[in-house]
Chains A and B, each alone.
Chain A
Amino acid sequence: MSAIGAKPAAGAEVNTTASIIGLILTLIIIGALYVITKDISMTMALIGVIIGGVLVGFCVHFMPVGGAPAAMGQAPGIATGVAMLAAGAGLAGLFGGAWAAELGMMVAIVAGAVGGGLMMAITCLMVSVIYVFGMGIPAASGKSKIDPLTGDTQVEFKSQGTEGHGLPFISYVGGVIGGLLGGAGGTLVYIELLYLYEKELPALLQAPMPEDVKIVAVSLAGIFAVGIFLVSSVLAAYNITGTTEGPADPKFKRFPRDIVASLLASAICGIFAILIVAL
């Protein structure tokens, strides 16, 4: 994304002790919320927010993003920043999910997922169109010899001096799956908070007409959803050190440690987002 020539510092190994501490801290935070509020629905909302945050972190691992080299056809993937591409897709999904919020949680989450997936499908298609019809470059993966979905060989389509280019089919599918997961995750965070705020805010603000406060609930849930989305997606971007080819990339195998990190990060952000109306 930026011109800084960053050298990935993180390796692939899992820090077991830290992961266990992370899981325990997550459980402590969930327990703490229950002890403070004595309210099972709020605790369930926090768990929903955490699941949403984890989905967001997981979705980033599917995004085929090549960063700066992709803009020169030197590396496969989409030429942009991974956290922000995930945010673009996930927030477009959140837009659809928020629109369907009144039709129930299930419809809203699936609508959010489809919104994110559609955004990524169109974006990835246009990336392929530009590579093939604008630059005359066929797609080639740099890290896998054969596309695991189509069985296409990749190596001979790699032009000289590059690590591959374009979007092989597996990366395209990865992008769509990433959009689906990101849209669902962002919407889940939003919906959980929205329902909670719609219930609690009128009393807190002593509003005469509960219906009037809805806009405040929407706004508050929206900004919290954006905040948790950015936190979770940036952590995931750190996990894959900024670039990935999607599900076929060896970096994809790093996802377990990001799931733990997302669990803890969404838990700590989520507890404050919920306590704002609880205390």
Chain B
Amino acid sequence: MTSAVELQSLATQLRRDAIRMVTHAGSGHVGGAMGAAELFAVLYGGGILRHRPSEPDWSERDRVVLSNGHICASWYAVLARTGYLPLEELETHRRFGSRLQGHPARAKLPGLVETSSGPLGQGPSVANGLAMALRMNGSDARVYCILGDGELAEGQVWEAAMTAGHHRLGNTVYLILANDVQIDGRVSDVKTQEPIDRRFASFGWEAQRVHGHDVDALRAALGDDPDEGDASREATGKPQCFVLEVEMARGVVAWEGLAKWHGTKPSPKEAAAALEEIGEALGYEDFPIVAGNNNGARP
């Protein structure tokens, strides 16, 4: 079993990768990507997902739907760090010809991107459809749908939440990154979404809050009960919602919690200071930046 220290190192590297990708691209969404670092590390590196990097389209894989597609920098990074993508490709993010589009595109990465995302609120419905199909096929694979808290203002999220609750999609897990930040400010100022866990519970879900930067807490919450095995969660028939309490731009104190870092690119100087503060990740090296504009972009 991967140790907590190793998982935290992976998360640290994903943070570094996200900062370097967005800075090199000259645009992008760095803050949310940094806030999701521990989640991606635990999902892909902590034994939560059932998946095979050597066989991305394995039919029994758990499905991941990134509904808040704008945080894709650290998601592409974890795919590279777990063997799905060449590390060299990370520098192409958001560039013309790249497979690593500004928002995840199934057409560019078939088999890896389960569904294209970007316009908020659409992932949960697709996740439900995937879950229904898996259930019809008798598969015990799960569907994990990642959302932001600001995204919950989209009505389609609640249509989908009703659907999953009503149809008892026990193989469905929504992971909500609750950082209380959206483009125009605090989520609690723009449009209140809390109490997210109680809202989901009232829609027929099992819901709980988790410290989203604590790899042990995440692994304990998302993992199966060792005594009951992986059937324990499906037994209730209730879909699962985890409200992950996270911080925008976690890891760089001057950036943390600021709406500015939703979609602002760091200057080279800011990036250098941020990387210095985050420090190097044990056992990892930064992906190469060969320099030049489209260098490395794939046709």
Tell whether A pairs with B: no
Residues of A within 8 A of B (CB): none
Residues of B within 8 A of A (CB): none
